[in-house]
Amino acid sequence: MPGLTVHDITHLDALWRVADQIAGPDYPINPAEAFVLGGAFLLHDAAHVMAGHLVDQANRAVARPDRPAIRRSRPGRPQ
């Protein structure tokens, strides 16, 4: 998706660097806190990955000329 952050391993590394800058040297985190923070980073990225796939699917569906006709032919579904 153009204009959005690339959510790969470099983004994950950058999140850890920013968290380190925010916390500073006087606030060490323990292993449990690091685990929870890492999980939050991954969950955040997983949501963006899923959103990107849904947008790609929607774009492909709209790009097919026969797709709008199929959608309109289903009774009870929003247009």
* Residues recorded for the chain: 79
pLDDT tens sequence across 25-74: 999 999 999 999 999 988 887 776 666 566 666 666 655 555 555 555 55
Residue holding tokens 């797709």? Answer: 67
Q: What are phi and psi of 41, to 5 degrees?
A: -60, -45
Q: What is the pLDDT of residue 23?
A: 92
- 46-71 burial, b at 16+ Cβ within 10 Å, e below that, comes to eeeeeeeeeeeeeeeeeeeeeeeeee
Contact 12/48 with Cβ under 8 angstroms?
Answer: no
pLDDT at residue 15 greater than cutoff 80: yes
Give the span between the Cα atoms of 48 and 51, in whole angstroms.
5
Note the pTM of the prediction, 2 decimals: 0.52
Domain boundaries, given as residue ranges, for the chain: 9-72
